[in-house]
Amino acid sequence: MDVVITGSTRGLGKALMAELQARGHNVRGCSRDSLDVRDFPALEAFARDPCDLLVANAAVALPSTRLWELEPAHFGALIDTNVKGVFHSLRAFLPAMVERKSGVVAVMSSDWGRSASALVAAYCASKWALEGMVRALSRELPMGVAAVLVDPGNVNTDMLKLALGEELAARYPGPAEWASLAAPQLESLGPEHNGRTLRIVDRS
């Protein structure tokens, strides 16, 4: 299977890329250095090679801050990556999938796409936006194409360390263990999963 993962240099994206490659898939990835998801023309060029599975994973978080103290530029940069970057990725890769009536887009959401906590309002706003965008998209797609939300659970990555601190983050599985659970679920996604949410790791 041909797979594209945005944000594949660290954390979940990097581990997922390694796991899917080990399982025999052809995986391409990107990061800010190689292809910034905020740059739609660059993504369009990247999407000239179509894929069977797009994992829209790239995202950023901010240090814990009260909303009214957040720098407007930092809020804007987060939305540019986490919401507009995902839209750009879908906009670049979906037309070919829709044309051939085959393909899956998996969008990395979060528990904070359906719940809220203090000090992470911008991140919550971005993931709630994705939940709405992908649920609406799933109602637009033709038979054969699926849009799926992924709630990865808590995984000990740079992003979780930023959100919870190193000590708390260390209580959760690492990215390689997570990827060994996520890869089989992602590779078995098909049209019948359109509109669903995949939960990879239970938080309880």
Ligand X SMILES: NC(=O)c1ccc[n+]([C@@H]2O[C@H](COP(=O)([O-])OP(=O)(O)OC[C@H]3O[C@@H](n4cnc5c(N)ncnc54)[C@H](OP(=O)(O)O)[C@@H]3O)[C@@H](O)[C@H]2O)c1
Which residues are annotated as catalytic? 123
Rounded to 10 degrees, what is the CA torsion of 55, 185, 19, 2?
A: -50
Longest dimension (CA), the chain: 48
Q: Which stretch binds ligand X (CB under 6 A): 9-17, 40-48, 141-149, 182-190?
A: 9-17
Choose between 11 and 103: whose C-beta lies nearer to ligand X.
Answer: 11
- Out of 7, 19, 51, 147, the residue judged to bind ligand X by CB under 6 A: 7
Minimum gap (Å) between residue 66 Cβ and ligand X: 20
Smallest Cα–Cα separation from 105: which of 154, 60, 47? 47
Pair 194, 49: CB distance under 8 Å? no
Residue 13 — φ and ψ, nearest 5°? Answer: -65, -45
The verdict on 65 binding ligand X (CB under 6 A) reads: no
- Out of 5, 57, 92, 93, the residue judged to bind ligand X by CB under 6 A: 57
Distance CA 41, CA 157 (A): 29
The verdict on 74 binding ligand X (CB under 6 A) reads: no
The verdict on 103 binding ligand X (CB under 6 A) reads: no
The verdict on 160 binding ligand X (CB under 6 A) reads: yes
In sign, the C-alpha dihedral spanning 151, 153, 156, 161 is positive
- Distant-in-sequence, close-in-space partners of 12: CB < 8 Å, separation ≥ 6: 57, 108, 152, 155, 157, 175, 178, 179, 182
Choose between 57 and 194: whose C-beta lies nearer to ligand X.
Answer: 57
For residue 30, the cross-strand partners are 6
Choose between 30 and 145: whose C-beta lies nearer to ligand X.
Answer: 30
- Out of 4, 5, 43, 58, the residue judged to bind ligand X by CB under 6 A: 58
Q: Which residue is closest to ligand X by CB?
A: 11
The verdict on 46 binding ligand X (CB under 6 A) reads: no
**Residues forming the site for ligand X (CB under 6 A):** 6-13, 30-33, 36-38, 57-60, 81, 85, 108, 110, 152, 154-155, 157-160
